[in-house]
Structure 1
Amino acid sequence: MTGDSPVVHGFPHLDTVRSAITALYRRMSYEGVRSYAPSLVPADAAFSDQDDLHLGAQRVARAMVQHLHLPDARMIVAFRAMEHAGSVELAAGPEYFIELNDRFRTHRRDIGAALSHEVMHVLLHRLGLEFPGTRDNEILTDTAATYLGAGWLLLDAFREDGTSSQKLGYLTPEEFGYVLAKRAFAFDEDPSPWFTSPQAYEAFAAGRARAEQDARQPPLTAAGWAGRRRYAKVRRYAQDHPGTTAAPVPGVPYAFEAGPDGLRVSFACPTCLQRIRVAVRGRVRVRCALCRTVLDCDT
């Protein structure tokens, strides 16, 4: 896990983040994902300067193991000089060796954040879930840690002022906020009281605003007037040009296609981001087969 690169803002990895959320639901099932409620509580990751470094790190690692449902895994945490924030040896288990950057000896409140990422590597390794390429796989790890209730610590480790900055993980602060907001909507949680960093709260607010946009896209009935008007224009074009994939408005988050019973529209579920296909029949209520979210649509 990196920790020293310049802080990038915005949503440059959003497509990969969304794919990671979908992959979690597909690999773990709805019931499996829902079993990670509630989130890791702040007290379980608390680490004061008075705590013994190694005993405290082992205590937080055990809390991560318990939260992430790894009952037989044992984490052995050590510290050394290294380029990245941390690393983990993904062996057969049940013992896993985690190394953290020496700087955490004096930045102890962020040890929980670093461990949430490294222990998540172990869970994904056991699940056999990975993305091709180092960058995408690390984005998957950050997304999974956050969506399963431990990675909010990674966002809280983000601090920035006029002269310095610190961020852990591969997601931008706003992307962490986006994933955390997705979890908050799905699990009916409010993580905002847990933040100790003002910058983390601001990033969460920005990510939440982006996540709310997903729930206001046509054909969902919560879409605004402008979105509905554009949707009607694209639908009319699809009806007048059957069999074509071209659309008069580029960049729309839905697509029309011909089905056995007429025109169908596909769009992303706002919860798990899986594509849903619905017949164009006016107002309908559909249930996502992957995450069981019930959606009111006006197709």
Structure 2
Amino acid sequence: MANGGEVVRGFPHLDTVRSAVTALYRRLSADGVQRFAPSVLPGDVAFSPDDDLYLGTQRVARALVSHLRLPDARMIVSFREMEHAASVELTAGPEYFIELNSRFRSHRRDIGAALAHEITHVLLHRLGLSFPGTRDNEILTDTVTTYLGAGWLLLDAFREDALTSQKLGYLTPEEFGYVLAGRAMVFGEDPSTWFTSPQGYRAWTAGRAEALRDARHPPLTTAGRVGRLRYARERRHALAGHPAGTGPEDAYAFEQGPGGLRVSFPCTICHQRIRVPVSGRVRARCGLCRTVLECDT
């Protein structure tokens, strides 16, 4: 897991993040994702100043293993000087060896964040779910960690002051907030009270705002007036036989098919594209996550 360096902000990896959420639903199914409720709670991974370093670390690791539904997995955790924040040796199991950067000996409140990412690597290894390339695979890991209820710890580990900054993981702080907001919509959670980091909380609110924008694109009935007017103009253009248009950031796309004009758009929950005929008010049900969306096509 990456650590340190300049903190990138905003949403530069959003396409990969959305693909990761879709891949997770395809691998686990909607019912499988629902099994990861509720999120890891602060008390489950709290580290008291009086805790023994190794016993406390193993306790936190066991809590995360239990949350991620890896009952037979055993995490052997050690500390050493290293460039990255943490690493895990992916083997056939059931024992997995995790190394944490020695600085966590004194920064114990972030041990849970580092372990959450590495233990999710084990989960993905067992699921056979991966993306090609190191960067995209690490983004997948951060996304799954967060969507399955343990990644808010990574966002809470983001801190900045006048002289120093710390961020764990490969997603930007705002992207962590975006994924966390997506989970909150599905599970009805409010993670805002869990944050100890003011910077993490602000990134969560920025990510939540971006996630809410996803739910306000045409042809959804929740779209704003400006978006609806643009959609109507592009629909007229497509119905007249001109090349089919697309919405901003591929929010929707018109397609000519054997049965007439259709519009495709991403599901607001799992981001799989949904296709419906252009025929006025319809209810679209996502075949992957089973979300029902009200549309005016």
* Shorter-chain TM band: over 0.9
Please tell me whether residue 217 in structure 1 is matched to residue 233 in structure 2: no
Q: Is contact 1:237–1:248 with CA below 8 Å preserved after alignment? A: no
Counterparts of 2:54 and 2:19 in 1: how far apart (Å)?
36
The 1:248/1:115 distance shift into structure 2, 3 A limit, reads: closer
Q: Is contact 1:269–1:276 with CA below 8 Å preserved after alignment? A: yes
Q: Is contact 2:86–2:98 with CA below 8 Å preserved after alignment? A: yes
Normalising by structure 1, report the TM-score: 0.97
Q: Is contact 1:287–1:295 with CA below 8 Å preserved after alignment? A: yes
Q: Which residue of 2 aligns with 1:37?
A: 37
What SS does structure 2 have at the residue aligned with 1:87? strand
What SS does structure 2 have at the residue aligned with 1:96? strand
Counterparts of 1:175 and 1:210 in 2: how far apart (Å)?
9
Counterparts of 1:153 and 1:93 in 2: how far apart (Å)?
25
Counterparts of 1:44 and 1:121 in 2: how far apart (Å)?
20
What SS does structure 2 have at the residue aligned with 1:47? coil
The 1:85/1:45 distance shift into structure 2, 3 A limit, reads: same
Normalising by structure 2, report the TM-score: 0.98
Please tell me whether residue 275 in structure 1 is matched to residue 273 in structure 2: yes
TM alignment of 1:81-230, pairs within 5 A: 81-230=81-230
Per-residue CA deviation, residues 93-146 of structure 1 (Å, 9 max, x unaligned), is: 000000000000000000000000000000000000000000000000000000
Per-residue CA deviation, residues 7-47 of structure 1 (Å, 9 max, x unaligned), is: 11100000000000000000000110010010011111101
The RMSD of aligned alpha carbons is 1.1
What SS does structure 2 have at the residue aligned with 1:64? helix
Displaced runs of 4 or more, over 2 A: 247-252
Give % identity: 72
Counterparts of 1:258 and 1:188 in 2: how far apart (Å)?
38
Q: Is contact 2:284–2:293 with CA below 8 Å preserved after alignment? A: yes
265, 284, 288: which is aligned to 2:286?
Answer: 288
Counterparts of 1:14 and 1:190 in 2: how far apart (Å)?
22
- Which residue type is aligned with residue 49 of structure 2? D
- Which residue type is aligned with residue 281 of structure 1? S
- Which residue type is aligned with residue 283 of structure 1? R
- Which residue type is aligned with residue 225 of structure 1? R
The 1:204/1:129 distance shift into structure 2, 3 A limit, reads: same
Counterparts of 1:219 and 1:250 in 2: how far apart (Å)?
12
What SS does structure 1 have at the residue aligned with 2:40? coil
Per-residue CA deviation, residues 64-87 of structure 1 (Å, 9 max, x unaligned), is: 100000000000000000000000
What SS does structure 1 have at the residue aligned with 2:24? helix
Q: Which runs of 5+ in 2 are unaligned?
A: none
Q: Is contact 2:246–2:252 with CA below 8 Å preserved after alignment? A: no
Moved more, 286-295 or 202-211: 286-295
- Which residue type is aligned with residue 91 of structure 1? T
Q: Is contact 1:22–1:272 with CA below 8 Å preserved after alignment? A: yes
Equivalent pairs, count = 297
